[in-house]
Structure 1
C-alpha cells in the first residue's frame, strides 16, 4: 500500500497516509521525486506542482481554496498557505447531471432489493428496529423527574439486561429511555414551534413502541399545544402526564410506563424488506482521511440501500457550502433543485442575521487532522451521500416522506444534527469520525473510524474501522461488511457501543430569544 494518495489526476496535492519527516523524498506516479520542506502529519497535504499566489488548489478534482502565497513542490499545504475561496451569497443555475440509459441510481433496484431484516411492524404500518419506551419532556424543568422515571421504568419493565447475550428477545421491552433538553419554557414564535415540531417527530419514531410525554403545567410548551404539533396518535402508544396536576407524578408516571410496556410486548420481530430501512448520515471530528476512507464507504452503503428501495438522510448544511452544486446537479427535478438552493441560502442568511462569518469553518480539531478549508471539509462531507439522486429536501424537525436520498435542514453540530436525523425518521445513524467521540443519539449510532489507529485505541467507541481501506482491504469488501453489520443491528442481533455504553442524547436547535 502506498504511503500517499492522489484523489484526482488534476490535483496539485497528495494526501500522506503516514507521518513524513522534513527532508524525506516521495516518488510520484511518473517517477518524479519531491522532497518535503517540513515535517507533515498523516492526513495532511503535500504539493506536487507549483501553485502561484491566488490560484486554486485542487483536491478531489475541485478547488479547496486559494493559495495565499506561492506554493512549490514539497511544500506542506495547510492553513498557513491556503484559504477559503468562498465569498458571500452565491447564485445557482439548474444544470442537471446526464444519466445513462439505465436511469438514475435511485430509480433502479439492486440485487439487494430482496434482502430483509427482522423489525417491529407498528400499528400504522411503520417499522422500528428497537422495541423501546421513550420519555419525552415538554420542558427542561422536569428533566430530573423524567430521568428518575426512566431509571425506575428500566428496572421494572425492560428485559434487555436479563438476556444472556445482552439482547432482548422477541416481545420484550428493549429499554426505557429519557432524552433531556433545556427548552420548552420562555420560548416564543418560531423558536417554540421548532422545539414542538422536533419533539413531535420524536414522538412518532417507530423505534419507540410506547412514548410517555411529561409536562410540568406552566410552561410555554403546554401539553395541549404539543398535542396539536403531534397530530394523530394512538392512545395505546402515547400517554401524557402533567406533573403539577398529579398528586405523585412518579407513581402515576410509573403506572403509565407499565401500560406502555404491556402494549410494547404485543410486538414481535418479523421479516420486513430492507426498503423499509432509513439511515442517517453524519460525520463528526473529521480529519484528512474522512473524505478518503469513512465518508466514501458510507456513501457506498447509502447508494446500496437506495438501490434496494430504502432511504438515506443527509444533513449538516454548513458543511455542504463549497460542494453544494454537486448535490444540486443531482436533484430529481427543478423543484428539488430550488429547494436545495433555498436550503443553502437560508442557512447562509442565518449566519448573516447573527453577524457571523458564513465560512468560519473548519474546527480546530478538523485542522489538526489535516482539513484546511470549508471547501475541503464539504467535499469530503458530502461523499456520505454517495451518488444517488436527491429525492427531497425537508425543513428542520420534519420527517422524511420519500424514499431515496433526502436532505434535511440542520447545522453541523453533532448532537443537534443527529437529533434532527432521528426526528426525520432514521433508524440508524452512520457516524464517521477521525477524532472519535462517545456520543450517541436516540437511535443506534454506528461510529465508523477513518483510521485504524483510532479504532484500536477507542474500541469502546468505534463500531467499524474504515481505516482498513488503507491497509489492503478494498471498498467493495468493506462495504459488504458494513452492510451486513447494519442489517445485524437492524435485526437486533447486534448493538452499537452507544447502546451498550448507555450514551443516548438529544439537542434541539435554538434560534430565538429567551424570555
Structure 2
C-alpha cells in the first residue's frame, strides 16, 4: 500500500507528506493523531504536536531549525514559520560513532584495465583545452572526428572551459590540477591536450603535474606551433584511435570502482528515498572493497558532526573539521553567510533550511566510516568512503568528483536536470512523478521506495544498475551526447 506520509525518526516533531494532503485530513501514527489545519504539498512538513516559538524542530532525529512563532499541531512547517540555527565556525570534539562494515567478496564489472593498473568504465577520446582561447578549435576537432566512434572508441568529446590564463593564486593552480587529473583519467583511452602556446597553464606546466604518469596515449598540440592546428589535432586524434583498436572490456572486481556521490535540485523526498538508496549502495560497494566520494561541503553544514563522528581516526576527524571550517572561512572571506541555502527549487520541493537540506544530503554517505579527506583536485588514495572539498554547484562538484578519480557520478534529484559531467552521470529521481515527466533525464527511480519497495531491495537493484552502467550501459545524458565540465573559481581574474 502506498504511504501518504512518513515520520522519519520517532523523535521527530514533524512528518513529511509523501503525496499532497488535504486540510481536515486526519493523520494517525503510533503515538499521535493530528488533523491537518491546511493543505500540505508533497515533500513538505507538518507538525505532530504544538511547537513553541524558539523551540527546535526535529527531522531525521536532529534539529533542522527553530520555530519563529508558535505553531499548532497539524500545521504546515516551512520558511514562513521557521529559520536556520546555523552560525559561523565552531569548535568540535571527536566522539566516534560507527561500526566497520562487514566485508564481502567483490562482484565484477566489465571494464577497461589500463597499463598503470587503473580501471576505466568507458573507452573514450578526450580533447582537453589548456585555455579557453582554443575551445572552438577543440570543438571543431571533436565534430570532425565523430566518424571514429564505434566499437572501440565509445565517444570523442571536447571539454571546453573559460580558464587557463589570467587567473591569480589558487585559481590557476586549481585549473592545472583539474586538467592534469582528467588527462590521466582511466575512462579516457586516449587524450589530446590542446594548448595555445602562451597561456599560464600551458602544456609544459601541466606536464610538471603529470610527473611519471603513463603518457603513451596522450598527444600534445600547441596551436601556435602549426599552420593548421585543427588538421594537426584531427591527425593526432586518429592516431589515438588507432592505439585503441584492440581495447576490450574484461572482468574487473568492483573494488576497483570509485563512485562519486552528488545531489542537486533536491526536494522534500530526496532525503527519504533517493539519498538513502545511494547511501545503502555506498555501503554495499565499500563492503566489497570499493570507494565512494561525498562532496559539496556547504551541504554538510548542519550535519557535519554526523560525518566527523564517523571519522576512522582522530587524524581523519581533524581533517574533516578543517574541511568544514575552511569552507566556512571561504564564505566569510567573501562576506557571505554560511547558511545562504537552500535554493528556490529546494524550497518549492519542501526543504526549508540548510540543516534540513544537509541532513538529507549526507544520507548519500551511508554508514561507513570516513577513511579519507581530499582537497580540491586531489586524487583519491584511500579505499572506502572519502570526503572531497568542493562547492555544491552541480557542474563544479561533479567535475571535481571525476578529477579525484570517480569513474561514475551518482546524482540524486527531486526536480531534475539534463546536465552531465566528464564521466557517466546516473540521474536518480526521488519521486515517480519526475520519471514520468522527464524520462530522457532520469536513469533510475527511487520514488518506488514509498510505494511498494523496501530499501534493501531497491539498493540491490540499484547496485545491479550501477554495475551495468560500469559495464557499458549508457546513461540518459550520454545518450543525449552530453559531456560537461566546470572548474572552481574563487578569486581575481586579470
TM range, smaller chain: over 0.9
Residues in 2 aligned to 1:448 and 1:221: alpha-carbon distance in whole angstroms: 36
Q: 2:218 matched to which residue of 1?
A: 238
CA drift of 1:98 comes to 5.4
What CA RMSD, in Å, does the superposition of the two structures yield over aligned residues? 1.0
Q: 2:118 matched to which residue of 1?
A: 126
Residue pair 2:106, 2:289 contacting (<8 A) in 1 also: no
1:46 aligns with 2:38: no
Residue pair 2:258, 2:408 contacting (<8 A) in 1 also: yes
Q: 1:457 matched to which residue of 2?
A: 437
CA drift of 1:276 comes to 0.5
Residue pair 2:98, 2:369 contacting (<8 A) in 1 also: no
1:142 aligns with 2:111: no
Stretches (4+) displaced over 4 A:
none
1:194 aligns with 2:195: no
Deviations for 1:356-406, whole angstroms, at most 9, x for unmatched residues?
111111000000000000001000000100000100001001110110001
Deviations for 1:247-279, whole angstroms, at most 9, x for unmatched residues?
110111111111111112232111111111111
1:416 aligns with 2:396: yes
Question: 2:331 is paired with a residue of what secondary structure?
Answer: helix
Which of 446, 468, 472 is residue 488 of structure 1 equivalent to?
A: 468
TM norm structure 1: 0.94
Deviations for 1:89-133, whole angstroms, at most 9, x for unmatched residues?
11100111154xxxx11xx412xx241111111010101011111
Q: 1:163 matched to which residue of 2?
A: none
Which of 382, 395, 417 is residue 375 of structure 2 equivalent to?
A: 395
Show the 5 A alignment for 1:320-339. Answer: 320-339=300-319
Residues in 2 aligned to 1:230 and 1:153: alpha-carbon distance in whole angstroms: 26
Which of 133, 149, 156 is residue 158 of structure 1 equivalent to?
A: 149
CA drift of 1:29 comes to 2.5
Q: How many residues align?
A: 493
Residue pair 2:98, 2:368 contacting (<8 A) in 1 also: no
Residues in 1 aligned to 2:347 and 2:234: alpha-carbon distance in whole angstroms: 48
1:87 aligns with 2:87: yes
1:293 aligns with 2:285: no
Residue pair 1:47, 1:72 contacting (<8 A) in 2 also: yes
TM norm structure 2: 0.98
Deviations for 1:474-511, whole angstroms, at most 9, x for unmatched residues?
1111111111111111111x110011001110010001
Show the 5 A alignment for 1:216-365. Answer: 216-365=196-345
Question: 2:397 is paired with a residue of what secondary structure?
Answer: helix
Q: 2:37 matched to which residue of 1?
A: 37
Deviations for 1:124-161, whole angstroms, at most 9, x for unmatched residues?
01010111110000000111100111111222x211xx
Q: 1:24 matched to which residue of 2?
A: 25
Residues in 1 aligned to 2:169 and 2:342: alpha-carbon distance in whole angstroms: 32
Residues in 2 aligned to 1:246 and 1:190: alpha-carbon distance in whole angstroms: 31
Cα 1:268–1:98, aligned 2, differ >3 Å: closer, same or farther?
Answer: closer
Question: 2:315 is paired with a residue of what secondary structure?
Answer: helix
Question: 2:262 is paired with a residue of what secondary structure?
Answer: strand
Structure 2 unaligned segments of length 5 or more: list them: none
Residue pair 1:236, 1:263 contacting (<8 A) in 2 also: no
Deviations for 1:41-65, whole angstroms, at most 9, x for unmatched residues?
0000000111111111000100000
CA drift of 1:234 comes to 2.9
Cα 1:21–1:137, aligned 2, differ >3 Å: closer, same or farther?
Answer: same
1:512 aligns with 2:491: yes
Structure 1 unaligned segments of length 5 or more: list them: 160-167
Residue pair 2:98, 2:367 contacting (<8 A) in 1 also: no
Deviations for 1:47-85, whole angstroms, at most 9, x for unmatched residues?
011111111100010000011111110110000111001
Question: 2:156 is paired with a residue of what secondary structure?
Answer: strand
Residues in 1 aligned to 2:121 and 2:44: alpha-carbon distance in whole angstroms: 39
Residue pair 1:139, 1:215 contacting (<8 A) in 2 also: yes
Residues in 1 aligned to 2:489 and 2:215: alpha-carbon distance in whole angstroms: 30
